[in-house]
């Protein structure tokens, strides 16, 4: 699958990318971005631990520095990301992980765009990657927000 370039968030100068993946195996081969924040929107209720671990391995190998997990069972996805990262044998600098089970997608996306700051020992984070697995409506919501991050932020924060 190829990442779709959506735009740039002007304040942080982070490039914004989207992956509308039809299934978790489609995330394999994510291009190396070195240091990025990832919002993973995924309903993993029918996924095995091995499937979640394979997806986590792909995202981490691409250079994920901060993972925000959202969707049904995102707490488990978060925990497996942590286990896979430790399994890489290089726990420092750490990959920070959060889950957003009690929030709407818009709030999780706002967090990924504006509040997720990777471990300071990492190289500067230059991108945010939104990944929607098997849900094109979630991908469309992320795409719309990423096209105009300032307007999106104003709307989420009640100033728009």
Q: What is the CATH number of domain 4-156?
A: 3.90.190
pLDDT class of 121 with cuts at 50, 70, 90: confident
pLDDT at 91 over 60: no
Task: Tell me if 71 sits within 8 A of 41, measured CB to CB.
Answer: yes
Rounded Cα distance, 158 and 45, in Å: 32
Mean pLDDT of the chain: 92
Tens-place pLDDT, residues 10-60: 999 999 999 999 999 999 889 988 899 999 999 999 999 999 999 999 999
Q: Where are the alpha helices (DSSP H) in the chain?
A: 49-61, 74-87, 105-114, 136-147, 149-156
Furthest C-alpha separation in the chain: 45
Name 96's bridge partners: 66
């Amino acid at each position: 699958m190829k990442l779709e370039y959506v735009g740039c968030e002007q304040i942080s100068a982070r490039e914004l990318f989207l992956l509308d993946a039809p299934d978790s195996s489609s995330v394999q081969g994510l291009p190396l971005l070195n240091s990025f924040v990832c919002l993973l929107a995924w309903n993993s209720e029918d996924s095995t631990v091995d499937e979640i671990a394979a997806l986590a391995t792909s995202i981490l190998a691409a250079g994920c520095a901060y993972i925000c997990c959202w969707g049904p069972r995102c707490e488990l996805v978060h925990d497996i990301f942590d286990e896979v990262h430790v399994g890489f044998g290089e726990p420092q600098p750490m990959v920070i992980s959060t889950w957003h089970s009690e929030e709407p997608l818009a709030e999780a996306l706002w967090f990924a765009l504006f509040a997720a700051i990777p471990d300071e020992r990492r190289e500067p984070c230059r991108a945010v990657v939104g990944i929607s697995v098997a849900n094109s409506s979630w991908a469309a919501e992320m795409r719309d927000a990423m096209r105009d991050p300032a307007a999106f932020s104003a709307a989420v924060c009640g100033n728009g």
